Structure formats: C-alpha cells, structure tokens
Chain A
Amino acid sequence: MLRTRVIPCLQLIDESLVKTVKFGKHSYIGDPINTVRIFNELEVDELCFLDIRATVEKRPPNFKILHEIADECFMPLSYGGGVRDAATAKKILSIGFEKILLNTVIFETPSLVTEIANYSGNQSIIGSIDVKKNLFGKYQVYSHDGTKKQEVDPVKWAMQLESLGVGELLITSMDKDGTWSGFDVELIKKISNAVTVPVIANGGAGSIHHIEEAVKQGNASAVCLGSMVVYQQKEMGVLVNFPDRDNLQSTLIHEKN
C-alpha cells in the first residue's frame, strides 16, 4: 500500500522563497531555510525546490542554500533550475538531494539526461515540462521559465523524455499556477496514460479534493502543492502549512494492491 506522494513545491529566486501566479509576477514568501524547518516539523513526504529564474538569468544553482536545505531536511529532496551539465548535477546529488529536475537544458542537450542517468540512475532525474494552452485551447510546451515556446506536442515530448531516461515527469500547467482552481486534470491524464514513468501533477492545487482529482481521474502518481502550502487561503497572508495527514490518507489511499 504505497501512499501517493504529496510534495510541497517551493519556488526560489536565488536566496528568496517566492510564489508566482501563472508564471507571471511573483510574491515574496520568506526565507527558504525557515520554511523548510517548518516542513521538516510537519514531516512532509518530500520537498521540491525550483530556482525559477536561474536559467533565464544564466546563474548556476545557489549551492550555499542547497547545502543549508540538505543539512536541515531528512526527507527526499529534488532541485531544478540552472543545471546545465553533469558536473553540476553530481554536485547537487552529493550535497544530499536525490533528484534533479531538468527542463530547458533538455531542448539543447538531450544527452545530458542519459549522462546523469548513467551516473546516478534514472530515478535521479525528473523531466519537467511547462505547458500552456493557446487561444484555441491547444496545449503548448514552454521552456525558459515559460518565456520560450517550443514546437513540440506535450504528450510526444513526455514520451521522448521517458525514452531519454528520465525517471519521473513533473507536468506543470502554467495557466493553473497559483490560481487555486484545481489541476489541469485533462493534461495530466493525457500524459500519464502515454508514459510508464510516474507523473507528478503541478499547478493549481487549492484543496484536498483537487489532489484527489489529479490522482483518481488524472492518474498522477504524485502531486505538487505551491500556494496551498505557503498561504493561509487564497488572497490571504503567508502561512507555511500542510494538509491534514489523516484526511489526505483516507482520500488518497491506493487500492491497487
């Protein structure tokens, strides 16, 4: 009886913790280290960190912050943002993170996936795909923190990432990001039905019910929570929190085995 992983996904800009809405303007949340201490106390399943501006600002990951996070956290950790080569990935893994998220760099250097997989295994790489609907309702893939449109179908791209060797896929709906309006279940379902690796749904979580939809209708293996774990409520102040574990468990229990 495996539990569905419910993962706070924390957005960084260098040393600050922020939260975006639809990949647009960001609000300052606080200090990442204080925040992870709270998540540690709350015993969350896993934590995901994304430095959302590292790639576009051509910065390397902030190793100092990553060190501080790893020293505090005794749970699975993943990091994405500005990982351009295998040496950087290895350094992050050696700090104590077990998964690296790759997005933009795969369009430029697809062989990096295989290179990292050969070193630390497929399970150490999460392929991250940012998706937005165009005016006609067609799904389109974006890179560079949602600023560059890529001419590839999301489902085909997901399948391609799987064949390159990613161990998981993080599917982020840009339209849903920071909206509290629920995951893009249709998108998640299309992709999870086309691949065998676990799919992590991201963007739009506002309630346990939304998580249930992503898992039961969208076939997501895991979900990321953003606004929901850093704000009290929609349009309200910062409050680092995590949904009630018993409530989550009774809603999400896997019954496949």
Chain B
Amino acid sequence: MIIIVDYGMGNLGSVANMFKKVGAQAKVSSDLEEINKASKILLPGVGAFDTAMNRINDAGMNEVLNYKALKEKVPVLGICLGMQLLTAGSEEGVLPGLGWINAKTYNFSGRINNELKIPHMGWNIAEIEQNTAITKRYQGEIRFYFVHSYFVQVDDESNSMMKTNYGLTFDSAIVKDNIFGAQFHPEKSHKFGMTLFENFAKI
C-alpha cells in the first residue's frame, strides 16, 4: 500500500484521486503504524518549509520516515514542498530538512529577472537529465504544472533527474537511489503526471 503522508499540509485529495485513476492502492494517513507498514511513501506538501518540518517532527514522523527511506529503502516520492523537504534545508526557513538528497532549496527572489512573477506558476517544460524508474514511457516534450517560490539545486549532478528553466535553470526533479522528488504537481499535470504516478506505483 502506498501511504500518502498526512502531516496537515497539502492537497491530498487530488493526489489520492490520481493514484485511484492509475489503479494504484493508496491511502492518506498520519498514523505512524500505517506509515511503518507502507510499501511506498508519498510525501506531499504545500506551504512553508519550517511549518512542514515542525509538523513532521512534532508528530514523531521523522524517525519512521528516516527508517523507511534509508534503512528499509522503500520507494519515496516527495512532491512540491515534499521534494524540498528531502534537501538539507531551505532559504525559506531555519530548520534542517530531511537531508536525504544532497541538495538545497533556494529563493527565486533576487535571483531572477524582476519581470518574472514569483511564484513560478503555470505549465513549464521539464527536460529529463537522467532516466530512472519513474521517467519510463515519456516521449517527446513533457510539461508539468508548477507553483513555487523556492527552487531546488542539487550539490551533485548525479542527483538531478529533470531540469526546468524559469529565469534560471533548476532541478525540477531529483533522485537518489529509492528516493525521488518532483517540484511540479504531477497530480495536476494530466497524462504527464499520470505517467509519473503510474511509474512510481509499478516500481
């Protein structure tokens, strides 16, 4: 069972809807026991970095998530803020992230042309940098729906899975072994997102 981790932030309904659409068994849960039994973990998230880390820490989820991701090595997919949480930390907050992937989260503000609106909101193209279990069956141009004010950059290019340009080039998807992150919203990206969810469900 894929567990969609509910730590009180994010659009869980549409994530669950899309897993249902691709025929995968998924459940939204905040229960530590259930998370502990998960065959795969989806880490969603919309909102502020520190608020999210506080909720995860306060709910005592940190330990079980670390165990699942790093010891048991079940497939993990973080989306949007959920991907940023996989990094060492963010300019948005002061708390450390989960730190599973060597990357950091930076502010668009001050780094891109003033004429470009922040957040980066809308459909944009992602270029696949590295083929992984979740980039299967993609052909031609792929586009996703983005909404974010902070972006991720990997420390080591071997962790970059997709890149996107918005005033600068950032890592729109990252990977390390069993751990995947997507900055965009696959659950809001039509067939492009469905392919990704389907691939994740089939790992």
Q: A residues bordering B, Cβ < 8 Å?
A: 1-5, 40, 43, 45-46, 70-71, 74-76, 93-96, 98, 120-121, 123, 167, 196-198, 221-222, 256-257
> Which stretch from B54-62, B69-77, B173-181, B183-191 is at the chain A interface?
B183-191
Cβ 8 A contact of B165, one of A1, A5, A40: A1
Rounded to whole angstroms, the CA-CA distance of A176 and B124 in the bound complex is 30
With A1-B165, A120-B47, A123-B147 already in contact, the answer to whether A43 and B191 are too (CB < 8 A) is yes
Contact at A198–B121, with CB atoms within 8 Å? yes
Cβ 8 A contact of B188, one of A2, A4, A75, A123: A75
- Determine whether B115 belongs to the interface, using a CB cutoff of 8 Å to chain A: yes
Rounded to whole angstroms, the CA-CA distance of A95 and B11 in the bound complex is 8
In angstroms, how far is the closest chain A Cβ from the Cβ of B41? 21
Residue of A nearest to B188 (CB): A76
Residue of A nearest to B186 (CB): A74
* Beyond A2-B116, A96-B13, 5 additional pairs, beta carbon < 8 A: A1-B165, A70-B14, A74-B189, A96-B14, A98-B46
In angstroms, how far is the closest chain B Cβ from the Cβ of A129? 18
Residues of chain B with a CB closer than 8 A to A40's CB: 190
Contact at A197–B117, with CB atoms within 8 Å? yes
With A70-B13, A196-B117 already in contact, the answer to whether A121 and B46 are too (CB < 8 A) is yes
Chain A residues touching B, majority SS: loop
Residues of chain A with a CB closer than 8 A to B193's CB: 74
Residues of chain B with a CB closer than 8 A to A198's CB: 117, 121
Residues of chain B with a CB closer than 8 A to A96's CB: 11, 13-14, 17
Q: List 27 A-B contacts (CB under 8 A).
A: A1-B125, A1-B165, A2-B124, A3-B122, A3-B123, A3-B143, A4-B122, A45-B122, A45-B145, A70-B14, A71-B17, A74-B17, A74-B21, A74-B187, A75-B189, A76-B145, A76-B188, A95-B13, A96-B11, A96-B13, A167-B119, A197-B117, A198-B117, A221-B122, A222-B122, A257-B112, A257-B166
Cβ 8 A contact of B117, one of A76, A93, A95, A221: A221
- Determine whether B120 belongs to the interface, using a CB cutoff of 8 Å to chain A: yes
Rounded to whole angstroms, the CA-CA distance of A40 and B17 in the bound complex is 14
In angstroms, how far is the closest chain B Cβ from the Cβ of A200? 11
Residues of chain A with a CB closer than 8 A to B35's CB: none
Contact at A257–B13, with CB atoms within 8 Å? no
In angstroms, how far is the closest chain B Cβ from the Cβ of A211? 15
Interface size on B, residues (CB 8 A): 35
Rounded to whole angstroms, the CA-CA distance of A5 and B119 in the bound complex is 14
Contact at A74–B122, with CB atoms within 8 Å? no
With A74-B187, A74-B188 already in contact, the answer to whether A121 and B47 are too (CB < 8 A) is yes
Cβ 8 A contact of B190, one of A3, A4, A75, A197: A75
Cβ 8 A contact of A257, one of B46, B47, B113, B145: B113
With A2-B166, A120-B47, A123-B121 already in contact, the answer to whether A74 and B11 are too (CB < 8 A) is no
- Determine whether B167 belongs to the interface, using a CB cutoff of 8 Å to chain A: yes
In angstroms, how far is the closest chain A Cβ from the Cβ of B197? 10
Rounded to whole angstroms, the CA-CA distance of A95 and B124 in the bound complex is 25
In angstroms, how far is the closest chain A Cβ from the Cβ of B97? 19
Residues of chain B with a CB closer than 8 A to A74's CB: 14, 17-18, 21, 187-190, 193-194
Chain B, range 8-25, C-beta contacts under 8 Å to A? 11-14, 17-18, 21
Cβ 8 A contact of B119, one of A94, A123, A256: A123
Residues of chain A with a CB closer than 8 A to B115's CB: 256
Residues of chain B with a CB closer than 8 A to A1's CB: 124-125, 165
Interface centre among B12, B21, B188 (most CB of A within 10 A): B188
Contact at B190–A43, with CB atoms within 8 Å? yes
Rounded to whole angstroms, the CA-CA distance of A222 and B123 in the bound complex is 11
Contact at B124–A94, with CB atoms within 8 Å? no
Residues of chain B with a CB closer than 8 A to A5's CB: 122-123
Residues of chain B with a CB closer than 8 A to A257's CB: 112-113, 116, 165-167
Contact with A along B150-189 (1 / 0, CB 8 A): 0000000000000001110000000000000000010111
Rounded to whole angstroms, the CA-CA distance of A62 and B91 in the bound complex is 40
Residues of chain A with a CB closer than 8 A to B145's CB: 45-46, 75-76
Cβ 8 A contact of B13, one of A46, A94, A121, A221: A94
Residues of chain B with a CB closer than 8 A to A196's CB: 117
Residues of chain B with a CB closer than 8 A to A2's CB: 116, 120, 122-124, 166
